[in-house]
Structure 1
Amino acid sequence: MQITSLGFRTDIAILTASGSTVTDCGTHLLVTTPDNPSYHWGNFMLLRELPAPGGAREVMGAFDTWFATARHRAIGIDSPVDVDVSEFEVDGMDKDVSHVMTAERLLAPERPFAGGGIRPLTPDEWDKWVDLDLSVYAAEDRRYHRAYVEGRARQEQRLVAAGLGHRWGVFVDGRLAASAGLYDTGDGVFRFQSIATHPRRRGLGIATTLVHRMAERAVEEQGARQLVIVADPEGPAYGIYRRLGFETAEVAVELHQSLPGEIA
């Protein structure tokens, strides 16, 4: 199956390079991350196209068969434009439509932050990123628990070890105030991952300065020709990315549902 959407293409490139397994079933892909079963978008099904009318339950049943121990359902649609997934929604799945944004080079931030050190994380600092990510997201999303984020950290460490990029941080008074990952997905396409700013450090231009610095290095030193970032169009980060020069190229349509049980 050829992936046409940029968002899922870069997602799966990163997952494959970091240890996940992708099974091509022709009409869909099955992505599994055995060492992080609670990672919804590391254990999901990507459909080449929507099923025929009345086929949503069959797709959901196929997911349950393949991911028999999963406590979630996660299904992506390989479409660069929004599509009608009401059949899935009627059966309990939630729909997210994210914007896949691109730029060849970023604009300098309006208010660059100069009050901290910006650099890649060292091997013994990944636990600081885990703590930062939990402080940002755990209260609003029950999928964010320590085992899940530690699994994400292990995968990104494999990307770093393979020479595909780095996770960077902004350190203020010796503490990690913001962090972002940026990785080469092939052919000069670099994808940002998991950008977060500590709640007490927001509004200072820290993340904006970090993303710009990372992008400049990727373009000037690593041959990046296209920068990709995925954002919620209703979220506060969307406007920040637009001011840096990112523009929406397409959308990513995702369906997800938590199921009863210990792993969610």
Structure 2
Amino acid sequence: MRIDSPGLTTDLDLLRLSGSTVTDHGDHLVIRTEANPTFWWGNFVLVPTAPRADEVDRWVARFEEEFPEAGHRAVGFALPGGGTQAWAELGWEVEGDVDLATTGLPVGTKVPDGIQVRALESDDDWEQSAQVGARDTAQDERKDRLVFERRRAAAQRGLVESGRAHWVGAFDGGRLVARLGIVRLGELARYQDVVTLASHRRRGLAGALVRAAGEWAFEDPAVKQLVIVAEDGGPAIGLYQRAGFAEVARHVGVSRPIA
């Protein structure tokens, strides 16, 4: 099954590298991450078309057939538009994403005084990264979220140690306040998990990290293009466009928890 979105194709490549399986059923893919069953977008169904209002029941049933024990439902669509309203009316969260890419080194920003930009290396660095990932979780859900974030951090660290990836952070007095990763995938390199704590936003940290990660990616002459994915309508798109990225595709996902 063909998927043209560089954001989705690199998502699938990253999932495979982390141990997930991707099974092609002809008109859809089933993605499964047995090591992290609470990872919604590691356990989902991906459809190559836009969502259609008359296919809601079909794709819900297909998900439930593949993941009968899951505490969530998640279906991705490789094209935007279509019948997303039908899903929203049934209580599903609809998330639109924009793929952006550049063939040049991103324009960076000056690192503020007192901030150290460096690679994540130690056990404490990766634990801080997991804590950053769980930063906005409600207290009664925090324990489960940290389990998820620590599993994800372990998978990311494995990619770094394999030489395929680079995770870089901004540290303020030893405290991780922003971080992101990038993974080399042949001719493409894909950014991952761009996060800046609310206390340190609008200080140029994300721009500096995007630049630093891009420099590392382009050290490999095989890499021809950098890819990053941002929430449709979100503030990050402007930051990436100012850094030199341009929109190349859009796609959408629908999800909900099981009460």
If the length of structure 2 is used for normalisation, what is the TM-score?
Answer: 0.90
1:85 aligns with 2:84: yes
Aligned to 2:108: 109
Aligned to 1:54: 54
**What is the letter of the counterpart of residue 60 of structure 1?**
V
Task: Quote the offset at 1:96 in angstroms.
Answer: 1.2
Between 16-25 and 150-159, report the one with greater CA deviation: 150-159
Indicate the SS of the match to 1:255: strand
Aligned to 2:73: 73
Query: Contact 2:132/2:197 (CA < 8 Å) preserved in 1?
Result: yes
Question: In the aligned structure 1, how far is the partner of 2:221 from the partner of 2:40?
Answer: 30
Question: In the aligned structure 1, how far is the partner of 2:177 from the partner of 2:50?
Answer: 41
Gaps of 5+ in 1: none
How big is each residue's C-alpha offset from its partner over 1:35-87, in whole Å with a ceiling of 9 and x where there is no partner? 211111011100122577633202101101111111111111122x4333333
Q: Which runs of 4+ in 1 moved over 4 A?
A: 50-53
Indicate the SS of the match to 2:54: coil
Indicate the SS of the match to 1:54: helix
Query: Contact 2:96/2:253 (CA < 8 Å) preserved in 1?
Result: yes
Question: In the aligned structure 2, how far is the partner of 1:116 from the partner of 1:110?
Answer: 13
Query: Contact 2:5/2:99 (CA < 8 Å) preserved in 1?
Result: no
In the alignment of these two chains, the number of paired residues is: 256
Query: Contact 1:99/1:230 (CA < 8 Å) preserved in 2?
Result: yes
RMSD of aligned C-alpha atoms? 2.2
Aligned to 1:158: 158
Question: In the aligned structure 2, how far is the partner of 1:110 from the partner of 1:21?
Answer: 38
Indicate the SS of the match to 2:69: coil
Aligned to 1:253: 252
Question: In the aligned structure 1, how far is the partner of 2:100 from the partner of 2:51?
Answer: 27
State the identity %: 32
Aligned to 1:182: 182
**What is the letter of the counterpart of residue 48 of structure 2?**
R
Task: Quote the offset at 1:30 in angstroms.
Answer: 0.6
Query: Contact 2:107/2:242 (CA < 8 Å) preserved in 1?
Result: no
Aligned to 1:8: 8
If the length of structure 1 is used for normalisation, what is the TM-score?
Answer: 0.88
Gaps of 5+ in 2: none
Indicate the SS of the match to 1:98: strand
Query: Contact 2:53/2:82 (CA < 8 Å) preserved in 1?
Result: no
Question: In the aligned structure 1, how far is the partner of 2:62 from the partner of 2:126?
Answer: 36
Indicate the SS of the match to 2:232: coil
Aligned to 2:173: 173
Query: Contact 1:113/1:209 (CA < 8 Å) preserved in 2?
Result: no
CA separation of 1:223 and 1:72: change in aligned 2, threshold 3 A: same
Task: Quote the offset at 1:189 in angstroms.
Answer: 0.4
